[in-house]
Structure formats: structure tokens, C-alpha cells
A = this chain, B = another copy of it.
Amino acid sequence: MRVVVPFAAEQPKTRLADVFTPAERRAFARIMLDDVLCALREAGHAPAVLTTAAIDVDAPTVVDDRPLNAAVDAVLEGEESPVAVVMADLPLATPDALARLFAPDADVVLAPGRGGGTSAFVTRHPAFRVDYHGASYRDHCERARDLGATVATVDSHRLATDIDERADLVEVLLHGTGETRRWLDDRGVRLDTSGDGRVTVHRDAAATRRDNGPETG
């Protein structure tokens, strides 16, 4: 099976601007990509990266600077065999969680992301195409049914957890098993259980200063 991981090489993770500098956000996106590639390899696959610009990464790359839907559809159009597409911002994805994506024998297997997205899918139907805008999980279900394809859904918190904003970092600190969690630890990102509602994160000021070099002015 062909396994593809789309990656937005420029200005990634803008909704984390209240936690990280632009340079940190680029590094963070890269380390999440590396974790996803590593988990896919441990699950027995040979992933390729579908990237918007050339990057230095330990995997085959396909560069396509078009928007996500067009770039993924181009991959799907060119393939006879089953294709899996796994998002790059799933640092909780373990080989076990990914094995559950590849296990069902359905024409289309969907792993919903929290908030209506599609974290990952496998398609064995040659006519399946993507639409990542809006509530893409619902739309992908409908498209598959319109094709007469059988659909299976993977019920996984690990695969549902894409990392876009501050609250998502809590999940990495609690459940991460890879380099992304260590990267956050090293940059002083800590669980904050002081509030009344859900747990959040803050940055340890000393670790932040150390990373950014001495303060000036």
C-alpha cells in the first residue's frame, strides 16, 4: 500500500503563535512529521512525504505546491493500488493506533479528527477523492457512500488528536511517546492544572529564555 504524509512546509501551525515563535513552530511541525513517519515505519509501512516545498527528511518526497486537496487528489488519481493518507500533525499516533487504521477490509477507512477533520484514511476505491475543508469527516463519509464504497471508522483518541492550538499540547505531554513530547519538555512546556476547567499548558520562563538566547534591551 502506498502511504503518503502531506506536509505544509511554510508557515506551519499559526494557531500556536501564542506559545511558539515562527522558528519554533517550523521546528515543532518537523518533529511531529518525524514522529508520524517513525510510527508508520514501525507499523510496517514505507511512507512518502507530500510536501509543499523541498525539505530535508529521511523519506522519499513528492513536492507539490498546490493546496492540500489538489495535491492529495493528484496522488489518488495516479495510483491503482490502495493508498493511505496520514496527516503530519499526529504525534500521538503509535504503531498500534495506526495498525487499527490499516486493519479493516472496507473500501474506505476513516480516522476522524477532533472537530470534524479527517486525520487519516485508507482508500481501496479508485474514485475516492478528498475535501479537507470544513467537516471533512462527514463529507468523506458521504463521498464514499455516494461511490457505493463500504466505509469503516477507527475510534482512536490518538488518531483524532491533531495538534493545532495550545490545548492540544496537553495531549502530547500526557500521551506522547515520541520525540515531540521530549521537544516540548526541552522547551519548558509544562502541564498547568491550576485552573478550574480543563488542564492547559504554560511555558517555563527559564527554559524559554534559554532557548531564545539572552534577552536584549
Contacts and interface: CB of A to CB of B under 8 A. Distances in A.
A87 to B, nearest CB: 14
Contacts of A193: 116, 133-135
A170 B112 contact: no
A115 interface: yes
B171 A114 contact: yes
Given A115-B199, A116-B170, A155-B158, 6 more contacts: A96-B155, A115-B198, A116-B199, A135-B170, A135-B193, A155-B156
A174 B135 CA distance: 9
Contact of A155 (B157, B197, B199): B157
A115 B164 contact: no
Contacts of A164: 197-198
Given A174-B116, A191-B116, A199 B156 contact: no
A137 interface: yes
Contacts of A134: 193, 199
Interface of A: 15, 96-97, 112, 114-117, 133-135, 137-138, 155-161, 164, 167, 170-171, 174-175, 191, 193, 197-199
A174 B142 CA distance: 12
> Could you say which of A134, A156, A158, A198 has the most chain B C-beta atoms within 10 Å of its C-beta?
A198
A197 B116 CA distance: 11
> Could you say which of A167, A170, A197, A199 has the most chain B C-beta atoms within 10 Å of its C-beta?
A199
